[in-house]
Chains A and B, each alone.
Chain A
Amino acid sequence: MRLSPHLFAFASPARFYALASRVTPGLWIVSIVLALIALYVGFFVAPTDATQGDAYRIVFIHVPAAWMSMVLYLAMAAWAAIGWGLNARLASMFARAIAPTGAMFTFLALWTGALWGRPTWGTWWVWDARLTSELILLFLYLGYLALVESIDDVRRADRAGALLAVVGSVNVPIIYFSVKWWNTLHQGASITMSAAPTMAQTMLVAMGLMTLAFWAYAFAVVFKRTQAIVAERERHARWLSASPA
């Protein structure tokens, strides 16, 4: 079977580099506009919660950050595996570019969770399954970053990182289902595929818009960092000198 040459056109670092330059400004606009609308709805339209007061408004960043922490981890592991298995350079660069942003969202999920837990549970932290598995996720990101930075040979570093990322991905379903599998202080999922959401409509709108804003943000930052990595690795390729930053 012959594959169309266009199918893998953007798998070339050079093509990706040009594409990223074109789409990143638009992603920033989308992210900022959506975040501003989400903040407006979250703070000026959504009502004060009957039981939690205004402390619950942390949910509008806590849940999107926690979702991103898991989604980005799976994306990182998948790209790392593709880069390893198919020897695709750009895929390995994506994996590396995702890791810092994924680690940041994991830290933010923990941070906002602590600041929400204190007034509602009376404690910053408990070693329950949800919180502990999310902390392990942060260590997996940091371990991945430390590992790939410690190996000088880029392709070997990519392969070692891929192994760690893929093995660590078993932690993601553990985080997701932890509130079901164990008795946790952390509340269960507010939104599931099988049941009606347990939140007011306006709260859901604010959380949904912020999630989309975080998605656009993640694409924009990861594209930028991938461009940086491409420029570092393809330093001696002729096409880079000719392409605009």
Chain B
Amino acid sequence: MSGATQWANAADFFAMGGYGFYVWGAYAVTAACMLIDPLLAARRHRRARAAIDEDDA
């Protein structure tokens, strides 16, 4: 195990050995999608609950 020493500094880390565009492009879109999906599910749930509360009112 090389531990945390394989990156000389932050710039080195973000450069990803020249593959930064590909690596971060993959991770950024994955993070964005995995954030949006549960937010949409939660919104759908909130709206369904609101409709029930309306019925009750």
Tell me which residues across on chain B come within 8 A of A224, comparing CB atoms: 38, 41-42, 45
Does the CB pair B41–A111 fall under 8 Å?
no
A-B contact count (CB 8 A): 105
Given contacts A61-B27, A108-B29, A220-B38, contact A44 B4 (CB under 8 A): yes
Does any Cβ of B come within 8 Å of A107's Cβ?
Answer: yes
Count of chain B residues with Cβ under 8 Å from any Cβ of A?
Answer: 36
Q: How far is the CA of A116 from the CA of B19 in the complex (A)?
A: 9
| Interface positions of A from 94 to 125, Cβ below 8 Å from B | 100-101, 104, 107-108, 111-112, 115-116, 118-119
Q: How far is the CA of A118 from the CA of B23 in the complex (A)?
A: 11
A residues neighboring B (CB under 8 Å): 43-45, 47-48, 53-55, 57-58, 61-62, 65, 100-101, 104, 107-108, 111-112, 115-116, 118-119, 202, 217, 220-221, 224-225, 227-229, 231-232, 235-236, 240-241, 245
Mostly helix, strand, loop or mixed at chain A's interface?
helix
Does the CB pair B51–A235 fall under 8 Å?
yes
